[in-house]
Amino acid sequence: MLNLTHITKTFNPGTVNEKTALRDISLHLDRGDFVTVIGSNGAGKSTLMGAIAGDFLTDSGTVELDGRDVTLAPSHLRAKRMGRLFQDPARGTAPGMTIEENLTLAGGKGGWFSRTSKTDRSRFREILSQLDMGLEDRLRQPVGLLSGGQRQALALLMATMETPDLLLLDEHTAALDPQTAEKVLAVTRRVVEENRITTLMVTHNMTQALTLGTRTLMMDSGSIVLDIGGEERKTMTVEGLLAAFRANVGRGLDTDRILLRPEGE
């Protein structure tokens, strides 16, 4: 499904701010994989997402999606087949437009001059009601009036309305309060499972990284230092993960921003 080969990216080359964010990253995701990514600040997690989504041109390496080389494709073209959510709930939706207008734009059905039809509206109501947030009765309200959690849930619906080949989640629950985060996560899990969407999710929560999905990657200074799946992952604990990190990298993980335990404990 997704195939990265020898991706390298250095920002501000030749200056004092030079930073190699990705070092020779190769990664393969099979259809239906749900991969979690964890790592300390500056490990390159978000840059990896950016490289896949096409925010910038990589220095070297190729990005293949479903057998097609998309290395040089601009982000809006890749978006046809990729859904993406950011940490900031504001980035996924247009605040000045209504819920209905946002969904129409994301829905992608019809040509340039198509308008929101009754069928569209009832479809919107139906998928919104699955969120259980009462948004189905607020179609005509501007998205700017919604809470962060509601906006993020809406953004998730928008990103997955046309089932994408790949879903990129960049700490999409990190800015929400624990309760809302749990709810958005539940919706994420359901949408991903129902549609069998290949998913890459960055998280700052160790437990989440191990319990969600089918495979866990750990990144450090631009490289993937741990790749755990299958039986090994089922028995892995947070302590085990930290020990494995120490063994592979030669020092302890900087855990300032990482939650070692489930939130709320």
Partner 1 sequence: MLSLIQTALELGLIYALTVLALFLSYSMLDVCDLSTDGCFTLGAAAGAVVALSGHPLLALPAAMLAGMTSGLVTALLQTRLGIDSLLAGIIVNTGLYSVNIAVMAGASQVSLNRTDTLFTLARDLLKSTPLAGGHKLVVLAVLTALAVVLLTLFLNTRLGLAIRATGDNRDMVRASSIDPVFTVTVGLCLSGALTGLSGCLLAQYQRSAEINLGTGVLTVALASLLIGRVLARRGGILLRAAGAVAGAFLFRLIYALALQLDMPAYMLKLTSAVIVALTIAVPYLKKQYPLLLRANQGKGGKGTC
Q: Which residues bind partner 1 (CB under 8 A)?
A: 74-77, 79-80, 83-84, 86, 90-97, 101-102, 104-106, 108, 110-116, 158-159
| Helix pair angle (178-195, 148-160), 10° resolution | 10
- Minimum CB separation from partner 1 for residue 61, in Å? 22
CA 106, CA 83: separation in Å to the nearest integer?
10
- Minimum CB separation from partner 1 for residue 112, in Å? 4
Q: What is the dihedral of CA 141, 144, 147, 149, to 10 degrees?
A: 100
Q: Which is nearer to partner 1, 105 or 243 (CB)?
A: 105
Q: Which is nearer to partner 1, 106 or 133 (CB)?
A: 106
- Minimum CB separation from partner 1 for residue 95, in Å? 6
- Minimum CB separation from partner 1 for residue 234, in Å? 34
Q: Which is nearer to partner 1, 148 or 229 (CB)?
A: 148
CA 26, CA 7: separation in Å to the nearest integer?
7
CA distances from 18 to 10, 22, 26 (A): 7, 12, 22
Q: Which is nearer to partner 1, 6 or 109 (CB)?
A: 109
- Minimum CB separation from partner 1 for residue 109, in Å? 9
Q: Which is nearer to partner 1, 102 or 203 (CB)?
A: 102
Beta-strand relationship, 166-170 and 60-65? unpaired
H-type helices in 144-265, by residue range?
148-160, 178-195, 206-211, 230-234, 238-249
